[in-house]
């Protein structure tokens, strides 16, 4: 369903140093860090101290920074799979539902994903250049998907045409900004309200 990322999570350098495969201890520690990060993030949120993660993983701080030079690289690695799953959920919705409902359903899917990760939304939109690659991955993966959903709905005359995919992605993330990690009902309701706004514009005005 995915199409392009065939499970080569830990791809080694492909161009020059194709000598020397990944050392076994490096692989082991990388895995331990990813597992620890996933666990710690789900308890303390994405802002959890680095030391808490390395302690959980049972490795030194230096090891963390060797494998993930920036804090955001660790976050990106942890959530890559889930971003992909979110993107891959679109086609099924488009086959099952009418264009406007498919759009609404996918946005709720995305809402649930972001809202469940406490601290993710603030990090994505902090403007901190450290999170640029994380933000870039989200955008490159999700923007085309949402754009297609939008285009289809606009073509069907179900939705206004003056909103673009990136704006919507940013907006949903913003709406999830204050979700505790457990209560995203407000975010869900507000996303629905926005979808209604999109519908209103289709025949109402502009």
Partner DNA sequence: TATTATACGGAACAACGTTCCGTTTGTCAA
Partner DNA sequence: TTGACAAACGGAACGTTGTTCCGTATAATA
Looking at beta carbons only, is 132 or 156 nearer to DNA?
132
171 binds a second copy, rule: CB under 8 A:
yes
Q: Write the interaction track for DNA spanning residues 18-57; mark x where CB under 7 A is met and - where it is not.
A: -xxxxxxxx-xx-----------------xxxxx------
Interaction residues for a second copy, span 125-154 (CB under 8 A): 125, 127
Token pair in block for residue 48:
């959890």
Residue 17 partner contact from DNA, a second copy, none using kind-dependent CB cut-offs of 5 to 8 Å: DNA
Contacting residue, 51, 58, 178, 183, with a second copy by CB under 8 A: 178
Of 134, 127, 121, the C-alpha closest to 170 is 121
At its nearest, how many Å lie between DNA and the CB of residue 128? 8
194 binds a second copy, rule: CB under 8 A:
yes
Q: Please say whether the beta carbons of 46 and 117 come within 8 A.
A: yes
Query: In angstroms, rounded to a whole number, what is the distance separating the alpha carbons of residues 109 and 120?
Result: 15
Query: In angstroms, rounded to a whole number, what is the distance separating the alpha carbons of residues 175 and 37?
Result: 25
Of 78, 77, 104, 76, the C-alpha closest to 90 is 104
Residue 186 partner contact from DNA, a second copy, none using kind-dependent CB cut-offs of 5 to 8 Å: a second copy
Residue 23 DSSP symbol: P
Token pair in block for residue 132:
């640029």
Residues that bind a second copy (CB under 8 A): 121-122, 125, 127, 163, 167, 170-171, 173-178, 180, 186, 189-190, 192-201, 204
């Amino acid at each position: 369903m995915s199409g392009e990322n065939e499970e080569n999570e830990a791809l080694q350098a492909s161009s020059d140093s194709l000598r020397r495969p990944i050392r076994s201890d490096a692989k082991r520690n990388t895995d331990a860090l990813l597992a620890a990060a996933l666990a710690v993030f789900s308890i303390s949120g994405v802002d959890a101290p680095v030391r808490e993660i390395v302690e959980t993983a049972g490795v030194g701080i230096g090891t963390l920074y060797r494998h993930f030079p920036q804090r955001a690289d660790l976050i990106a690695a942890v959530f890559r799979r889930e971003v992909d799953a979110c993107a891959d959920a679109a086609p099924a919705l488009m086959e099952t539902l009418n264009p406007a409902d498919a759009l609404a359903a996918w946005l709720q899917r995305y809402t649930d994903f972001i809202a469940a990760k406490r601290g993710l939304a603030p990090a994505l939109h902090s403007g901190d250049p450290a999170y640029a690659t994380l933000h870039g991955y989200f955008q490159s993966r999700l923007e085309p998907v949402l754009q297609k959903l939008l285009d289809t709905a606009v073509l069907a005359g179900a939705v206004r045409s003056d909103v673009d995919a990136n704006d919507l992605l940013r907006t949903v993330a913003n709406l999830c900004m204050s979700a505790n990690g457990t209560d995203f009902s407000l975010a869900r309701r507000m996303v629905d309200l926005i979808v209604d706004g999109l519908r209103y514009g289709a025949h109402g005005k502009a």
